[in-house]
Structure 1
Amino acid sequence: MKPTMISSTVRRKPRARLPLAGVIGGVIVTFWLVMAVIGPYIAPHDVGGVAGDAVFAPISAQYPLGTDYLGRDMLSRVLHGAPYTIGVALAAVIIASFGGTALALFAAASGGWFDTIVSRIVDVKLSIPSKLLALIMIAAFGSSVPVLILTAGVGYMPGAYRISRALAVNVQAMDYVQAARSRGEGLAYIMFYEMLPNMLRPVLADLGLRFLFIVLLLSGMSFLGLGVQPPEADWGSLVRENIIGLSEGAPAVIVPALAIATLTIAVNMVIDGFAGRKRRGG
């Protein structure tokens, strides 16, 4: 008799697949993150260096992105502006999302008077528009990178708190959280080992959205002349200072606007793909 052949094929667990739009968005976001790190080092000219006499020069081999209203190379200006646009937004969103999520976890897990007081304070803060708060802060303390980071972070923390608290309230009522309480686990363990992992996906999606909001807020403040100050520049200030070239279709005003647009659209594509991805065979 022939020995019975046992199949060695192992059924693998389906993997989550990111849609094509999410992959494309991830590539673009990764590109801009890399440029935020190495951009100033690979820029052909200094941030304020005048490359030539040509004002609002068109795209050419010498000036791949044209020149601005003073004859400065726009490629260099965009590369030097990437750390400010992206870096300041990242620092602010870390304050907003991490701070709001940690506070929401503690409030939902502890409950009682602390949860009530924090929630009412957040409600008051939500009644103040973020742009108005930014204008007040800059008028009081002046425009600097630390002030911009703190203003954007504090301004968007209440929204992150409300989203995270709504998730945390639902999660903390689950059986596994109640079992952890019955075992006598500490509050920190329940917050970060039982609750946070089960609400991480929507929290990360909200983090991406807050990053978009902060990029647009900072770009808007720079467009008003209240953001990063000369000689440094971010993409919003590049649009503002070259706005007179808009009637001529100068690349100097179009390029930084496209940089902001590609970054925000790409982040949105990643968020949509991350939130809506399906499992193969599911």
Structure 2
Amino acid sequence: MKVLLIIKDKNKEALEVSLRIKENLKEFGIDYFEYFLSSEEDKFSGYDLAITLGGDGTIIRACKMVKVPILGINVGGRGILAEIKPKDFSEALKRIVKGEFFVEKRMMLEVDVKGKIYPPVLNEVLFIKAEPLYTPLFKVTLPLGDEISSKMDGLMVSTPTGSTGHSYSLGGPIAQEDLELFIVNFIAPLNRLPPLILPPNPITLSSTHPSFLVLDGQNYEKLESEERVKVKKSNSYAEFLRLDKKSLRQIRKLGF
């Protein structure tokens, strides 16, 4: 087994935990490569497993870097996406070596603006006005040409994984994580619009004024008025190494 160890950069706790993790890996004769996550995201191949040391943000970034199962070790906040805490790694590694685990796949989004394809999105696509002094007309165009439009501050398209994040804060529903669907939230519309649950067919977003496109809360770009943002289900899936089968895993992490 070959492991990519992804460590949140400039995080003292993550660095300290990594020392114990590396000792455990050495005990089992497992080869590993240590990577400190900075502002850039490299692509990696040739590994069997990625282990992240950080919070959910570290895991989200890892999903863009590797196409192998990710074991999230929570060194940070709630750790909604993480599987274990640092103290549990030694026992978890014994089970992994024995093959006592399964891989959970999560749907991601593909975003296309004028032919530019962005890295896969795990949680949500935020399309929000760039200036506070006006209220643009935002529009969602569905596959058969039907349109939903209103003056508002912005739109958010979330995956089931993202349903416990910003989407939930906007009043959106929580979806079971292994479903494949879009959750569309309308941000401060002049005419009240409830959140929509849609099948994962391609949709297009647009605005009459310049707006920011924000992907997973980590990358953003300013778009001009009437630029079309095409959102569809990605062909890539996020893969997480899980030790135990649990339903509604993320809801339980929120304390429900």
* Shared fold (TM-score, shorter chain, > 0.5): no
| TM-score between both structures, scaled by the size of structure 2 | 0.26
Q: Which has the larger radius of gyration?
A: 1
Give the structure with the larger strand fraction.
2
Give the structure with the larger helix fraction.
1
